[in-house]
Amino acid sequence: MKQSRKIYDSVFKRKAVELSQERSNISELARELGIRVTLLYKWRKEQEEFGEGSFLEKEI
């Protein structure tokens, strides 16, 4: 059975990145948020690269 991909909104991503910068244990934070730690690192990198332009909502 194929699993569908979860889509996280920009508010959740920004808050997760903000919390990851405040906390020392990112793996624990990822578990608490119910996401993979690699996804959290990806979001942090995107925030670092694009700043305010990160996590723009895509129109369908």
Is residue 4 in a domain? no
Supply the range of the domain harboring residue 19. 10-50
3 in any annotated domain: no
pTM over 0.75? The answer is yes
Per residue in 10-49, pLDDT (tens digit) is 999 999 999 999 999 999 999 999 999 999 999 999 999 9
Question: Is 58 a domain residue?
Answer: no
Place of tokens 């508010």: 11
Q: Is residue 55 part of a domain?
A: no
Q: Does some domain include residue 37?
A: yes
CATH code of the domain covering residue 25:
1.10.10
Q: How many domains does the chain fold into? A: 1
User: What's the Cα-to-Cα distance from 57 to each of 11, 12, 60, rounded to whole Å?
Assistant: 10, 12, 9
Q: Is residue 57 part of a domain?
A: no
Give just the sign of the alpha carbon dihedral 2, 41, 20, 55. negative
